[in-house]
Amino acid sequence: MLVDDLRKSVKCLKQLDDVESAVQDAAKREKNDKEFTDLVDSFTTCILKLSGACEKLGYDPSDETIQNVENIMEFMEGTVSLGMVDETKLNHAKRKNRELIGGLSRGWESFHRSKTEEVLNKLNTFGGLMQEQDQVQRFRNYISGSREWSGLSLADDGVHTRLDLLKKAIDEVDHLEESLNLVDEVREFIALVTKGKARVSDLNETIVNWIQKEGLNDKFVIGLKNN
């Protein structure tokens, strides 16, 4: 009788262990499925930002970056090749995705700096001639807000991404310079004014005529410099 009872107890414990294992397996599968979904979302967002940067701003990813993108796609396909998420392959794909994002972040930082340096110089030089000075600050915000790769897909106004706003700032500033119809003499004079180095003797008939023609008399004042 005692042996039979013990056998029944062992059988019950085995059944409980099987149930527990099944629950753990289900929880593990659910965890892996969620992590794979998060990985796909992260990778998709990364690719959309990359394609947008290439299309709108002429960003040129390195051969290494392109190869990494192709490798991750293969890794993700292999992760679910058997109809379920392979945890080992999932972890490998996640690690490669982090490496891709890190490389893109570094590459974007360098690209952004070189792409916006001239734009900021133009804003410093010609921004004071704009009728709406708050627009100058908006352009500066668009540029500074797009400095980090991680935030490029964010839409602060609910409509336009930071990448879109960066493109808008670059285009608008270029258009501003073109609309001013500057000859070299005027351009050089404005640069001196911006740096606080313009002198009365720098004025000539061409510059004065341009100021009057553009209705910018109130934008330029003569002051005394204290030595």
- Give this prediction's pTM: 0.75
Q: How do residues 121-157 score in pLDDT, each as one tens digit?
A: 888 877 777 767 788 899 999 999 999 999 999 998 8
- Residues of the chain with pLDDT below 70 are 1-24, 131, 226-227
Could you give the C-alpha distances from 208 to 28, 35, 188, 196, 198, in angstroms and in order? Answer: 76, 66, 13, 18, 14
35 within 8 A of 97, measured Cβ to Cβ:
no
Return the pLDDT at 170: 94
